[in-house]
Amino acid sequence: MQSEQKTTIAIIDDDQFLLESLKDLFETTGIESRTYTSADAFLNSGDMHRVHCVLADVRMPGTSGLGLLSAVVRNGGPPVCIMTSSADNRTETAARLSGAAAFLEKPLNSKDLMEFIASAARR
């Protein structure tokens, strides 16, 4: 009997508290997560094709979440969910036009977050 592959998520945010909170949440649901404090750290990690999906903040030092999204899409990476505490129509439209699979406003709605992850894991 084959064991089911565990879903792995990359969480990219410069807010250490959010990283730890999401990591704890995912641990309780059997989802593996890898955390990065910047888009550049993720892009340089070589993990892009080792994760099922990416959760990325919009505003971070260095490469922004939208810059990260462009790089992931350009390299045929996994689905990306853009997260932000300052959502506006312009940012959401830019994210969706750039290929974001989801756009969530902080504080995150756990139901919407888990729906995105389930959808990404089925791909």
Could you report the per-residue pLDDT of 56-80, keeping only the tens digit for each? 999 999 999 999 999 999 999 999 9
Residue 82's CATH number = 3.40.50.2300
Quick one: which H or E segment has residue 60? none
List the one residue out of 76, 81, 84 whose CA is nearest residue 11: 81
Do the domain assignments include residue 102?
Answer: yes
Which spans in the chain are helix H?
A: 16-28, 39-45, 65-74, 89-97, 110-121
Do the domain assignments include residue 2?
Answer: no
pLDDT tens-digit readout, 15-61: 999 999 999 999 999 999 999 999 999 999 999 999 999 999 999 99
Do the domain assignments include residue 90?
Answer: yes
CB 64: neighbour CB atoms within 10 A?
Answer: 16
Do the domain assignments include residue 77?
Answer: yes
Do the domain assignments include residue 93?
Answer: yes
| Contacts of residue 96, Cβ cutoff 8 Å, sequence gap at least 6 | 103
pTM: 0.94
- Alpha carbon 44 to its chain centroid, in Å, reads 16
- Domain extent, residue 66, equals 8-121
Mean pLDDT of the chain: 94
Percent of the chain past pLDDT 90, that is, above it, reads 90
CB 22: neighbour CB atoms within 10 A?
Answer: 22
Domain count, the chain: 1
